[in-house]
Chain A
Amino acid sequence: MSDTSTATSTGAGVSSGPTLLSLKGVRAAYGQVRVLHGIDLDVHEGEVVVVLGANGAGKTTTMRAICGMVGTAGSITLDGKELVGRKPADVARMGVAHVPQGRGTFADLSVDDNLQLGAFVRKDKEVRADIDRWYEVFPVLGERRTQQAGTLSGGEQQMLAVARALMGRPRLLLLDEPSLGLAPMIVQDVFRRLDTVKAELGTTMLIVEQNANLALGIADRGYVIEAGHIVLSGTADDLQSDDAVRAAYLGY
């Protein structure tokens, strides 16, 4: 792909509130291997931002860098507060909920335990009420509430993971490849649900995806990452109509 973008660069766009998350010059490495070479990226309050890229481009690493799961240099701020150097548990306590690649389910704990863990950082008394509400939204989870979470199907675990993340009433929801390993119909269902969450809760989301079509469908803005660099950014519409993006990621 070319370095020059035909899409507009980020700036004031759709539904933008103040900047919630800001990455500047972020580099990350696993041991001796450098993966990110200077990422700049912003997410505004209330937005859904998507990061597209092929396998190995650095999408997951970006997520892990935000959460402090990988050696990181540069600046990552949430509401102006620096995240780089913090441990994952501390980042979570600041209001960032991360649904990792592969769901990260607590497989041998019950569904109910998983949801309770989602609310671990909360100190209020409405946790049980929230859990019951999720059981209404996802009846399947309600039916299996005492079962080991590892026995759920892939799609069910994805719902559980999203519910778990939202139980914490986070400021920012990070989703790492929600479509991975799921059948196409399930994936569509997942994104439909995410759209509902966006509409009803207004949660700010940063989604990393290989499946560009569905992701751009619910996003406001997007970035494209290749080999550890951001090569393109723009509104979702702009990206969807960009020729290079269409050729490389949308398949037409």
Chain B
Amino acid sequence: MSLLTVTQGTTAHKVYRWLPWALFVLVVISVPFWAVHTPSFSVGDSNFTFSLGNLNHAVAYMVGVLGLGLLVGYNGQISLGNSFFMGIGGYLTATLVVDNEWPYLLTLVVVLPVCFVVGMLVGLPALRIKGLYLALTTLGLAAVFPSIVRMDQLRDRTGGANGKRISADLEAPDWLPLEDIAEFLSGIPLIGDWMFGDGRLGGRDADDVWVFILLALLATAAFWVSRNLIYSRPGRSIIAVRDNETGAAVNGVNVPMTKTLTFGVSAALGGLSGTMYAMAIGFVAPDVFGINLAIFLIVGLVVGGVGTLSGAVIGGLVIVFVPHWASQIESVPVVPERYLRGPTGTFFLGVLLIILTFFLPGGIVYGWRKIRARLVTVRPAGHAASGEEVELAEGDSAGGLLSRGQDVLDVDDEEEHGEPVSAPAQATNQGEPT
């Protein structure tokens, strides 16, 4: 079945592992220069745009989804209130920048520890309240945030129901050769012109690119820290607690400590995401950080893939671009115009969730992994291909349709009828970064 077989330890294997990363880095470096010109594509009457502002928004949300995923996917605590911490981060940054004239990045020094501590405090009652009840309680927490921000007592700082506009600008530093990079990219034969325009960065463009670079760096840091956490010893404790709390405890894991600390880290990531949002959008309002955001974060997590890190990247992109493009749909045959003025984004996200559950229950990342496993087989060094190997995924795959045992039995039938069955039905892809 597979197109390609690669043995661990060879150069081919190293290329296989690192090529996706190299491509990803290339994309990340060049995409702001492409998006700054707000490219668009048309389908029928509708014109769908892709702006740098959207992209920055997505990057900010990616970190929020990451925080949620850490707690839910890797630690098994069904806490759905990460938007609460995003709100704290966003508003803290807003007030510090506007009222106290702090530089944006410096606010992280306050946001991260505050959110971490508050997160741990929230994590304490979470030790006793589990499962469904925890989900409801944390959703309640998320729903309450806008009310807290609207409180009269905090009005001066938060701007109350009107929100708070952050007037401080982020200016690209002089030493950064953004214009040179833009020129270089537009000079690339064939695609340069079409993708990167004429290579010039007018007015605010350079500043927007700079914001993207900052956000990308922050996001990279967040993902890098999360990855190291997961693959470390404390990380294994976190996952062990998810899979079998009693077993973990019996093996010496301090379960309450692990759970509350994970809550703290997840909350800190949420706060970071809120700060990034403030940087990207420049405006915070109560309803931005309410229950809708909490639900969207869940959607992003599920679409990307629960129990994966790279899923958060996809999740962030989905929850920004699906609503954005949905709002740009001009007309659909049969459907009355005024329907399209409504919350179409939410509608499509819901449909997406339902479709995904039927066809890709593990999320997009799992779908990708399955495709990849069918195309490329990784053979452990020094062994001939052995019989049935069980796929080791980084986390649970979401459930699915009945009788998965049926797959194994069908393989049997093939063997008995004399057809050669390619030895591992699923490849082992241990320790893959994505």
How many whole Å from A135's CB to the nearest CB in chain B? Answer: 38
What CA separation (Å) do A28 and B408 show in the bound complex?
9
Chain B positions near chain A (C-beta within 8 angstroms): 388, 390, 403-410, 412-413
Which 9 A-B pairs have CB atoms at the shortest separation, nearest pair first?
A71-B405, A29-B405, A71-B403, A73-B409, A29-B408, A71-B406, A32-B390, A31-B404, A32-B408
Chain A 14-36 residues near chain B, CB threshold 8 A: 27-34
Asked if B404 and A71 make an inter-chain contact with CB atoms under 8 angstroms apart, the answer reads yes
Please indicate the chain A residues that have their CB under 8 angstroms from the CB of B405 in the complex.
28-32, 34, 70-72
Please indicate the chain B residues that have their CB under 8 angstroms from the CB of A28 in the complex.
405, 409
Chain A positions near chain B (C-beta within 8 angstroms): 27-34, 70-73
How many whole Å from A242's CB to the nearest CB in chain B? Answer: 31
18 more A-B residue pairs beyond the given contacts A28-B405, A71-B408, with a C-beta to C-beta distance below 8 A: A30-B405, A31-B405, A32-B390, A32-B404, A32-B405, A34-B405, A34-B409, A34-B412, A70-B403, A70-B405, A71-B403, A71-B405, A71-B406, A72-B405, A73-B406, A73-B409, A73-B412, A73-B413
Please indicate the chain A residues that have their CB under 8 angstroms from the CB of B406 in the complex.
29, 71, 73
Asked if B388 and A27 make an inter-chain contact with CB atoms under 8 angstroms apart, the answer reads no
How many whole Å from B215's CB to the nearest CB in chain A? Answer: 41
What CA separation (Å) do A72 and B49 show in the bound complex?
51
How many whole Å from A251's CB to the nearest CB in chain B? Answer: 33
Asked if B409 and A27 make an inter-chain contact with CB atoms under 8 angstroms apart, the answer reads yes
How many whole Å from A84's CB to the nearest CB in chain B? Answer: 11
Please indicate the chain B residues that have their CB under 8 angstroms from the CB of A33 in the complex.
408
How many whole Å from B110's CB to the nearest CB in chain A? Answer: 48
Q: Which residue of A lies closest to B402 (CB)?
A: A71
Please indicate the chain A residues that have their CB under 8 angstroms from the CB of B412 in the complex.
27, 34, 73
Q: List 19 A-B pairs, Cβ < 8 Å.
A: A27-B412, A29-B405, A29-B406, A30-B405, A31-B404, A31-B408, A32-B388, A32-B390, A32-B405, A33-B408, A34-B408, A34-B409, A70-B405, A71-B403, A71-B404, A71-B409, A73-B406, A73-B412, A73-B413
Please indicate the chain A residues that have their CB under 8 angstroms from the CB of B404 in the complex.
31-32, 71
Q: Which residue of A lies closest to B388 (CB)?
A: A32
Determine which residue in B390, B404, B409, B413 has the highest number of CB atoms from chain A within 10 A of its CB, and name it: B409
How many whole Å from A38's CB to the nearest CB in chain B? Answer: 10
How many whole Å from A186's CB to the nearest CB in chain B? Answer: 29
Please indicate the chain B residues that have their CB under 8 angstroms from the CB of A34 in the complex.
405, 408-409, 412
Please indicate the chain B residues that have their CB under 8 angstroms from the CB of A30 in the complex.
405
How many whole Å from B401's CB to the nearest CB in chain A? Answer: 11
Q: Which residue of B lies closest to A69 (CB)?
A: B403
How many whole Å from B281's CB to the nearest CB in chain A? Answer: 45
Please indicate the chain A residues that have their CB under 8 angstroms from the CB of B388 in the complex.
32
Please indicate the chain B residues that have their CB under 8 angstroms from the CB of A70 in the complex.
403, 405
How many whole Å from A197's CB to the nearest CB in chain B? Answer: 33
What CA separation (Å) do A32 and B412 show in the bound complex?
12
How many whole Å from A213's CB to the nearest CB in chain B? Answer: 33
Please indicate the chain A residues that have their CB under 8 angstroms from the CB of B410 in the complex.
73
What CA separation (Å) do A13 and B312 show in the bound complex?
65
What CA separation (Å) do A30 and B405 show in the bound complex?
5
Q: Which residue of B lies closest to A30 (CB)?
A: B405
How many whole Å from A188's CB to the nearest CB in chain B? Answer: 35
How many whole Å from B415's CB to the nearest CB in chain A? Answer: 12
Please indicate the chain B residues that have their CB under 8 angstroms from the CB of A27 in the complex.
409, 412
How many whole Å from A109's CB to the nearest CB in chain B? Answer: 22
What CA separation (Å) do A70 and B405 show in the bound complex?
8
How many whole Å from B165's CB to the nearest CB in chain A? Answer: 54
How many whole Å from A71's CB to the nearest CB in chain B? Answer: 3
Q: Which residue of B lies closest to A71 (CB)?
A: B405
Please indicate the chain A residues that have their CB under 8 angstroms from the CB of B403 in the complex.
70-71
Q: Which residue of A lies closest to B390 (CB)?
A: A32
What CA separation (Å) do A31 and B404 show in the bound complex?
5
What CA separation (Å) do A28 and B412 show in the bound complex?
11
Q: Which residue of A lies closest to B406 (CB)?
A: A71
What CA separation (Å) do A29 and B412 show in the bound complex?
11
Please indicate the chain B residues that have their CB under 8 angstroms from the CB of A71 in the complex.
403-406, 408-409
